[in-house]
Structure 1
């Protein structure tokens, strides 16, 4: 990976009123003019995402949002989109306009941030023009429940202090568990079965494969990469059996047949489900496939948009396997990218992709919505292993997920 992928960056969202100085603050944090700045309130109308490096914080995804005080019919829609950004926010920065102070828009947003257990940092902007007295800041801090730092994007007053606060406030485990490293011992051999994905540009592997390779190396293990047709020969050439074989989910059946039963076997999609979300919930969701009936509604959710192949996994293969499992047709619905319905009441099952392009916060939010509505959710890798009858084996490296499936 030449660049940290979007889903592996700390998502930092900037909130505040129109013309509070949000875009100017982004430019000051990044030392670049990446956000459009204007004296006209409401310049930013939709969330704007920018992958950046903020030293010494590291790789982040900065999200510039519309004003939380926007008004009118369109303004209400913009405010709703701003609030939806909370679903993927790891760290929130609330920008206070010194002329407006802290009132209902700020306290309501702060309450929503606390409700989602999101870390928050608060600043009062334009300190070079309207430096607030400490006595004025104290009531704001009491209302918000966090310290308020005066900053100036023009003179850079307080910017370095803000970066330090961001480091301190960033959630400790926002990245989730390692992709595979905690399953390995130094010196272990991992065999990765990597079919050539026609949707990936020539010369590249898809993201979960690359992340797994990097994690294997980070944990001082050895990595053997082969295509599905060469797995049997690759295993025969090893002096000792590997610790684990990881395969593309679509090759589960063939790889399971070629992998000795004493060797752990799982898929890239299952590894990503654990890394980005909650594998136990997804494993438990597989049981719902057994109770599906013809005509039931199923949501298939993908976190990215990609060019569809003739035998696309989400559009063709998974619907075909589910129809075969239930013995009839089903009512399929699809969402892609950042779209995910808030009303899930119509669905009997949600099938989610591996979420390699989503950050962990957003995937956990989607899982929580499914649990709250009582809708079983499963991901591609778990579903594919289930319909091919090898899910217990694929979950063997993950005892708690295996128990969730069995119960």
Structure 2
């Protein structure tokens, strides 16, 4: 609870050939032996995530990847996992070991196509002189600048850090979870059910993050359960600017919150914060077009123990069948993988994505758009099937426009 969650950390991914010194470079940048180093090629197999503080950047995640030149059947699978890391990368660092080939050139092209900031690090300069002419030739081949470094003796590491800071995406335009919705001095009421699905001794991650964001907005967070909401509103002494609810108690919260108070859900807030809320509203609108036999993908970004009345595996399928009256087929995906066969589905229902960073969630939505498959998240769908979506998206003009487009 006291650590910055991985999904809120800047993802710095290290790419390069086997034994180019990727793991050694992570250790040099962090000043810690956090990555396993060995002269044996292929030491790093699957992507390895290391969360830490990189001063003066702040909380980051370094992603150490398998070599681009990995070999064999397993090597091909490892390279596929390496390329999947791009979907969540905020900044890529390409590590070279005195060689540039089609492998590096192909990777650079793909990184640029995804508009990911990229830095080149020419490692192992301690092993012999490299001329400026050779460096310029490699830079021309790749179309990027190269920072000469030695992960072994730390030469050039401070300059590489400076380049990382300069290349990081500008965070000034990134709005917060409640950005634009509340102002200093506002009251915000959060409705948090405590039931058998609630984790013992703590709030779930979206609730924690929302409270923190409200406080950073110099507003005041009041937390209550759904059965105490009416009493809370009556005793508050001031009308709250916003009521935020867990999606599963939407109907009760809507009934107990007067129409002149803005109301939405944690999941809808995160749909805007990390994804594309208007696109998810459009996805909800397609529910009425589902037909008998349609396949629905329920996708979750994390793996967890499923309760008897699990939201993704029990409640949402039940609500969709009740709403449509159709015989629908449900399939499930969990964890960081996302199926390749999206075109096989009539609808994708995604979780709130609290375990994914912004780029990863955006990638999943874009994949659905490119496959021409509607996508919606849990909170938007629940609000839709319970008839409260129009009210829940009123604070968001873009989502309201998407809703009105669906009525046309």
> Counterparts of 2:129 and 2:92 in 1: how far apart (Å)?
23
Q: Deviations over 1:318-338 (max 9, x none)?
A: 010011111133111111110
Q: State the partner residue of 1:281.
A: 279
Q: State the partner residue of 1:62.
A: 62
> Counterparts of 1:343 and 1:262 in 2: how far apart (Å)?
44
Secondary structure of the residue that 1:128 maps to in structure 2?
Answer: helix
Q: State the partner residue of 1:25.
A: 25
C-alpha change, 1:175 and 1:353, in structure 2 (3 Å) is farther
Alpha-carbon offset, residue 199 of structure 1: 4.1
Q: Does the 8 Å contact 1:199/1:306 carry over to 2? A: no
Q: State the partner residue of 2:225.
A: 227
| Segment of structure 1 superposing worse, 250-259 or 159-168 | 159-168
Secondary structure of the residue that 1:79 maps to in structure 2?
Answer: helix
Q: State the partner residue of 2:367.
A: 369
Aligned residue runs from structure 1 range 232-381, under 5 A: 232-381=230-379
Aligned residue runs from structure 1 range 205-220, under 5 A: 205-220=203-218
| Segment of structure 1 superposing worse, 262-271 or 26-35 | 26-35
Alpha-carbon offset, residue 357 of structure 1: 0.4
> Counterparts of 2:61 and 2:331 in 1: how far apart (Å)?
29
Alpha-carbon offset, residue 208 of structure 1: 0.5
Q: Does the 8 Å contact 2:290/2:326 carry over to 1? A: no
Secondary structure of the residue that 1:78 maps to in structure 2?
Answer: helix
> Counterparts of 1:180 and 1:131 in 2: how far apart (Å)?
53
Aligned residue runs from structure 1 range 185-224, under 5 A: 185-224=183-222
> Counterparts of 1:222 and 1:320 in 2: how far apart (Å)?
37
C-alpha change, 1:175 and 1:304, in structure 2 (3 Å) is farther
Structure 2 stretches of 5 or more lacking a match?
Answer: none
Alpha-carbon offset, residue 176 of structure 1: 4.1
Q: Does the 8 Å contact 2:251/2:386 carry over to 1? A: yes
Secondary structure of the residue that 2:349 maps to in structure 1?
Answer: strand
Q: Does the 8 Å contact 1:57/1:167 carry over to 2? A: yes
| Segment of structure 1 superposing worse, 127-136 or 369-378 | 127-136
Alpha-carbon offset, residue 181 of structure 1: 3.2
Alpha-carbon offset, residue 173 of structure 1: 4.0
C-alpha change, 1:175 and 1:32, in structure 2 (3 Å) is farther
Q: Does the 8 Å contact 1:124/1:149 carry over to 2? A: yes
> Counterparts of 1:370 and 1:326 in 2: how far apart (Å)?
22
Alpha-carbon offset, residue 146 of structure 1: 1.7
> Counterparts of 1:250 and 1:197 in 2: how far apart (Å)?
11
- TM-score by length of structure 1 reads 0.97
Q: Does the 8 Å contact 1:124/1:148 carry over to 2? A: yes
| Segment of structure 1 superposing worse, 128-137 or 154-163 | 128-137
Q: State the partner residue of 1:77.
A: 77
Alpha-carbon offset, residue 197 of structure 1: 5.0
Structure 1 stretches of 5 or more lacking a match?
Answer: none
Secondary structure of the residue that 2:180 maps to in structure 1?
Answer: helix
Q: Deviations over 1:263-304 (max 9, x none)?
A: 100000001111111111111111110101121000011111
Count of equivalent residues = 405
Give 4+ residue runs of structure 1 displaced > 2 Å after superposition.
173-177, 197-202
> Counterparts of 1:61 and 1:280 in 2: how far apart (Å)?
29
> Counterparts of 1:91 and 1:284 in 2: how far apart (Å)?
31
Q: CA RMSD in A?
A: 1.3
Aligned residue runs from structure 1 range 163-182, under 5 A: 163-173=161-171, 176-182=174-180
- 1:115 is the counterpart of 2:113: yes
Q: Does the 8 Å contact 2:7/2:354 carry over to 1? A: yes
- TM-score by length of structure 2 reads 0.97
C-alpha change, 1:205 and 1:163, in structure 2 (3 Å) is same
Secondary structure of the residue that 2:200 maps to in structure 1?
Answer: coil
